Amino acid sequence: MKKVVTMGEIMLRLSTPGYKRFTQSESFDVVYGGGEANVAVSLANYGLDAYFVSKLPENPIGQSAVNSLRRFGVNTDYIARGGDRVGIYFLETGASMRPSKVVYDRAHSAISEADVEDFDFDEIFKDAEWFHFSGITPALSDKSAELTLAALKAAKKHGVTVSVDLNYRKKLWSPEKAKKVMTELMEYVDVCIGNEEDAETTLGFKPGKTDVTKGELELQGYKDIFKQMKDKFGFKYVVSTLRESYSASDNGWSALIYNGEEFYHSRKYDIRIVDRVGGGDSFAGGLIYGLVSGKDFKDALEFAVAASAMKHTIPGDFNMMNVDEVMTLVEGDASGRVQR
């Protein structure tokens, strides 16, 4: 199996049952999730040798987070143990015109206070083919930014392909700091993934007249900034998901990819959302799987979009789909008929 490494924070997710508001709920549903952990689960479900790198406290909550990854076949050998707490986020799932809401309680989590010395990156990247991180990880703290840079340098030393999901989070850092830190990290990136908001906020590229809140997409604007991004940073592929937000319950979903010569727009899916969280991560996982397994970049994109469309129908952060199930949708069967 091909070895793929992801690094970041896994958090305890506390969600209101159904579509209740925080002020209504007297209990929470418990799952675990987080950007790079979600990607690792997708990759494990697709049959790759997926490793997740992080730091978690040596207590029952930290162990529960580890167990949640092991349950789906993610290798946790490189998770350092120590620190005081697991980060938490609270989720209120929206519906129709009412948006979902997230409240973070992740300050001073174990990974945000981890040191570079907690990890043996030469061992971690030995025989690895791919490394994935997101813009969330360096945003956690200055130490996390240093850790991310150290991991990227080690990955390139070992000849590992690197992908990033830009994933800007305004509750974690400012646009000014994001641009400063992320611009430095882009030197080590081969595949850049990000939606139009992330590309503008973290790297300063805005795609024309696109307005996702009105369902308006201007594809030529994306093509222009993809060329600029590739020229500036030397990416092999520049990729963007395209979410047309009709409401919190219904979205249009497709994606774009550019390799320096061709600009390709995937099939579009109209999806009824069960759980939006992890949608972008499932897309990244599908794209990585497609490229690592030797698919042509257009086929890899179609696999990623289909995988992510399916994830929106599954509660929790993790995408539970396997390769055959995703390929059924790629090949055109979106009927949702009962399988017996």
- Two tokens at 60? 């029952």
Residue 28 region by backbone torsions, left for phi larger than 0, else alpha for psi between -120 and 50, else beta: beta
Mean pLDDT by runs of 10 across the 340 residues of the chain is 96 96 96 97 98 98 98 98 97 94 95 98 98 97 98 98 95 93 97 89 75 62 89 96 93 95 96 94 98 97 98 96 97 82
Residue 339 lies in a domain: no
Check if 281 is active-site.
yes
pLDDT of residue 214: 55
What is the number of structural domains in the chain? Answer: 1
How much is the pLDDT for 223?
87
End-to-end CA distance of the chain: 31
Is position 98 within any domain?
yes
Q: What is the pLDDT of residue 196?
A: 80
Q: Which residues contact 338 (CB under 8 A, 6 or more apart)?
A: none
Looking at the domain assignment, is residue 86 inside a domain?
A: yes
- The strand pairing partners of 165, in sequence order, are 134, 193
| Torsion region of 260: left, alpha or beta (phi above 0 gives left; psi -120 to 50 gives alpha) | left
The CATH number of the domain holding residue 264 is: 3.40.1190.20
* Cβ-contact 106, 72 below 8 angstroms: no
Q: Is residue 337 part of a domain?
A: no
140: region left, alpha or beta (phi > 0 left; psi from -120 to 50 alpha): alpha
pLDDT at residue 260, as a whole number = 93
Nearest alpha carbon to residue 305 among 328, 324, 279, 338: 279
Asked, for residue 340, whether it belongs to a domain, the answer is no
Angle among Cα 322, 323, 329 to the nearest 5 degrees reads 100
In the prediction, which pLDDT does 338 show?
74
State residue 208's pLDDT score. Answer: 61
In the chain, DSSP assigns E strands to: 3-7, 11-15, 29-33, 49-53, 55-56, 80-81, 88-92, 101-105, 128-134, 161-165, 191-193, 237-245, 250-258, 263-265, 269-272
Domain that holds residue 32: 3-330
88 bridge partner residues: 12, 105
282 falls within a domain: yes
Choose, from 190, 198, 281, 317, the residue flagged as catalytic: 281
Specify the pTM.
0.94
pLDDT of residue 334: 84
